[in-house]
Amino acid sequence: MKFSTQFLVFLFIVAAPAMRAQTHEVQTLRVTVLSTMLAGDPPFKGIGEWGFSALIEADGHRILFDTGERSETVLHNARELGVDLSDITEVVITHNHWDHVGGLLALRHEFSKEKPTALSRAHVAEGIFLNRASPTDQTETNGLLPLKVEYETSGGVFIVHDKQQEILPGVWFTGPIPRVHHERNFPSSGKVKTAQGLVEDNIPEDAALVINTSQGLVVVPGCGHAGIVNTAEYARKIVRPATVYAVIGGLHLFLANDSTLAWTATKLRKFGLAYLLGAHCTGIEATFRLRELTGLNRQTAVVGAVGSSFTLGKGIDPLLLAR
């Protein structure tokens, strides 16, 4: 059967977006922070650290998102919070930095004792295993490389994505995020070894999760090194051009100046942002500034704490200390 050029153009322009719009919508969603700097909510459950991890529960599916810095922090916090991680198979590692991968082996070893498949599938983006050189002595600084062999020996497998992928119904892993806007949300001194030689390390593998819901897109970055605006725009491109309903995680804006925060807030406001749970490297002052500039309030834009959560249809539970 032959099709005319005009019909094929119609399919590309009209039918393809329509098909994309029919992607699965998550009906129930809860994101709970398991590692970040702020802790101390009475009765003092959890410990803080410079790191990030969260549990994502979407329509009965569960994903561990990043694993914190210290080997025992997420394990400790999950136990104190009464969160069971033993039945989780899928892990997302957003990038190579030590403060997002430090708990991977301890968690894998602990829960695989009873369930061999526990935390055995780690989703990562292409570029995460590139060699990183210290700017001072050229020693390896890739936080994930020292863990790779032991994780694989334990039965774990790294699933490397070179582009976006729907890893669970309505839950998308972005893969590497295009840097359309000049958001320099990453350290400026790092170097990475590529086929073209030693170049600036802009964390090329930085990835995020995007959950498609009836309210819009929920974007979960680990550090947001690719830039939260680049991430949000890419989310709208690969899933659907919907409202960016919520952003939960690290945005790496703690060193951002006022003009950068104003530009970021303007973009997020245009995306229709309704909720912001700014954890880890977002920064406390930056979260407050984004709250003000996006027109949100104390209930809808909150500094993330260990145990704080976002629930679709209910909003943010900040716990007492961040309320």
Residue 2, pLDDT score: 53
Which residues on adjacent β-strands are paired with residue 279? 250
Residue 4, pLDDT score: 54
Using 50 as the pLDDT threshold, list the residues of the chain that sit under it: 1, 7-21
Residue environment code for 75-98, b if the CB has 16+ CB neighbours within 10 A, otherwise e: bbbbebbeeebeebebbbbbbbbb
Which stretches of the chain are assigned E, i.e. beta strand? Answer: 29-35, 53-58, 61-65, 90-92, 121-125, 132-133, 157-161, 165-168, 171-173, 191-194, 197-200, 208-213, 216-221, 244-250, 275-279, 301-303, 309-311, 315-317
Domain layout of the chain by residue ranges: 26-317
Residue 238, pLDDT score: 98
User: Taking the domain 26-317, which CATH number applies?
Assistant: 3.60.15.10
Residue 42, pLDDT score: 79
Cβ count near 199 (within 10 Å): 12
Helices and strands (H and E) in the chain: how many: 10, 18
Rounded to whole angstroms, the Cα distance separating 35 from 131 reads 26
Contact between residue 33 and residue 40 where contact means Cβ atoms under 8 Å apart = no
Contact between residue 170 and residue 211 where contact means Cβ atoms under 8 Å apart = yes
Contact between residue 112 and residue 155 where contact means Cβ atoms under 8 Å apart = yes
